[in-house]
Structure 1
């Protein structure tokens, strides 16, 4: 009888678990309708940096659902990877993949992990379809969902977070994050709308110092759009038709921007010994300041107003590929319009984000300016 009682209890537990699963139709950022059994238990991330979004929902353990992921986080954000690895050492054992676009993604390995869903960043869609990976996954009943924090993050971040909420069964948590994000963006936009200040010309350099060539930048989306939302004029917007592109040094000189904002990170794995500025969580700010000063010694920048007036800044590059963009919008607004945003504290905003939504303690180091007195 005792055995039968235990068996009955186990049967009820299994039945309850089965009932908890629900088949839902998710509309991804491309408009595709995808049927998924939720909450998903086994997830493959087509890009490792998608963990930035997932971590805001699975705050106790962002890796509890991840059975495979692309190998980019360790190279693109070694500081962040190190913090996560210190708290969740098993992440070093999660199977990794190459990229879809560079042809090193192993579809057979992905299928063998039997995921409930594969989540891809939007930029991989063309290569995914060209390689027939979408058809191969569909043939074995594995759903593929696209989200986006990079191509059009201002347009797609809210939708992407809602999708992650649907997939994980944490819609309320996603809604809480979305409200936190939108409240901060709305406050910046409200002040700018009411004050209508003169807007500085801004040059935003993507991955400043990553190579000897100049200059990668942004068009009307991603950091280019964030500059506009922060009350600046993106000088590259009329030149670059899409999200990403380049402008030549002569165009920078001719535009003579009032403000310079570069993106930086620790890219020793990608571009060893180059001039990138290693900002990020817990960054060595003395070294970051030294390399920031070096950026302005390049011929295109020595004579521009931004350099003459000390309006030289670098921000963490991964704001461009995460749902945390509202923090850097605040920071740029404070740089562009210091009087209007004197009481805004982007560091406090990012710390609150960590305290409320992320499993890691906040470590400063994401922003630096030429006027800063850099000490660790």
Structure 2
């Protein structure tokens, strides 16, 4: 034993100065916290299953290689996307799943047993995480928590979030390549709009998860899809009604605003609301089915007489653009709906396919957008 100890001490003495510290990664997360993580990270718990959207964009060859656990929301929130990944990576079904911080079902003991290098959480879980004392409990056993954000302020936080994850995963070059691609594709819209001297901005009502419940109507303020509408050349109807990122408007407000376009977000939510009125756009969705469900939603009070419905300017778009680093595809599609002549040469499906071809481990399957206007 003495010989072994001496050997360890000798090895340590021969290491170059600072070698041990080189394994410690320091990041400033989206909340401004300075966090030290032993890295590069080899074992991670994803605070949301949908965080596979960014993990797959960095670990393209083996998207689940460092995931030791994740929240149980992916299959429920994006059933079609989940099953597309499952086809190629059946082992993902065996990953341990967690409840959420916000609903108090996160199991600290289970997380400790998995011995992750880091837990990555969305910023919307921060308040509940602090109230439950989770950060302190996890820090005591050497598990750091890092917050990222693609939902609350995605247009401001996507780039720094991708850089944080790229640094943790030792995939900084891949993260920068993704960021450049995203910026270039957004600029194809914003640069062209900036050059238009007499740009007319149609009024757009963004309905969040239309048909998910019988209530009407969830929407977006000046962030998330609300800001995407503005970047795409429209005026977000709810920007003066909803003070934060998310909120609700009533049917009377829709009638009074008489929007030029209505865009409903949707996905396959059959595990959340079986047989619901939601519009199941997403990976490989059938456009005949989704357009029929979209048309049915426009028969609700508050929609039947508005300009958008009368002129057929009603559309549905994949809900998960609101919670992933792929928002640039949504910006292109919204811009094409609002100004089809100006963006006649823009093909959002081709953009999304290129994203898949360059960064993702699965093939692109169209179905993420549908419009009631035949040329939409």
Measured against the shorter chain, the TM-score band is: over 0.9
- Within a 5 Å distance, the mapping from 1:294-373 to structure 2 comes to 294-372=296-374
Of the three residues 275, 278, 296, the one matched with 2:277 is 275
- Counterpart Cα distance in 2 of 1:261 and 1:201: 11
Q: Deviations over 1:271-328 (max 9, x none)?
A: 1222101100011222111101101111110000000111000000000000000000
Deviation at 1:373, TM superposition (A): 8.2
- 2:208 and 2:217 in contact (8 A); partners too: yes
**Partner Cα separation in structure 2 for residue 339 and residue 313 of structure 1:** 17
**1:82-121 → structure 2 map (5 Å cutoff):** 82-121=83-122
Q: Contact 1:258–1:306 (CA<8 Å) still a contact in 2?
A: yes
Structure 2 counterpart of 1:4: none
1:145 aligns with 2:156: no
Cα deviations by residue, 1:201-251 (Å, 9 ceiling, x for unpaired):
000000011111100000010000100000000010111010000001100
Q: Distance in 2 between matches of 1:24 and 1:268?
A: 41
User: What is the aligned partner in structure 2 of residue 23 from structure 1?
Assistant: 24
Specify the SS of the correspondent of 1:195: coil
Alignment-derived partner of residue 290 in structure 2: 288
Corresponding residue of 1:209: 211
Q: 1:325-355, CA deviations, whole angstroms, 9 ceiling, x for partnerless residues?
A: 0000000000001111110000000000000
What SS class does the counterpart of residue 329 from structure 1 fall into? Answer: helix
* 1:171-250 mapped onto 2 (5 Å cutoff): 171-196=172-197, 197-250=199-252
Distance in 2 between the 1:143 and 1:101 partners? 18
**2:256 pairs with 236, 254, 257, which one?**
254
Q: How many residues align?
A: 360
Equivalence for 2:4: none
Contact residue 25 and residue 40 of structure 2 kept, 8 A: no
1:37 shift after superposition: 1.6
- TM-score, normalisation: structure 1: 0.93
3-state SS, counterpart of residue 236 of structure 1: helix
d(CA) in 2 for partners of 1:98 and 1:254? 41
Distance 1:42 1:24 in 2: 14
Question: For residue 156 of structure 2, what is the aligned residue in structure 1?
Answer: 155
Q: Is the 8 A contact 2:79 2:270 kept in 1?
A: no
Q: 2:3 aligns to what? A: none
- 1:5 aligned residue: none
Residue 56 (structure 1) aligns with: 57
Q: Aligned with 2:239: secondary structure?
A: coil
Contact kept, 8 Å, 1:67 with 1:115, in 2: the verdict is yes
Equivalent in the alignment of 1:8: none
3-state SS of paired residue (2:119): strand
Shift, 1:184, TM fit: 0.9
- Say if 1:202 and 1:235, in contact at 8 Å, map to a contact too: yes
Residue 166 (structure 2) aligns with:
165
- Does the CA-based 8 Å contact 1:205-1:262 persist in structure 2? yes
Unaligned runs of 5+ in 2: 1-10
The structural deviation recorded for 1:21 is 6.5
Residue 65, structure 1, aligned to residue 61, structure 2: no
Unaligned runs of 5+ in 1: 1-10
Deviation per residue, 1:10-58 (Å, 9 max, x gap): x9xxx9xx98972121000011000112210000001111110111000
Tell me how large the CA RMSD over aligned residues is: 1.6
Moved more, 189-198 or 323-332: 189-198
Contact 1:21–1:39 under 8 Å retained in 2: no
Q: 1:20 to 1:95 in 2, by over 3 A?
A: farther
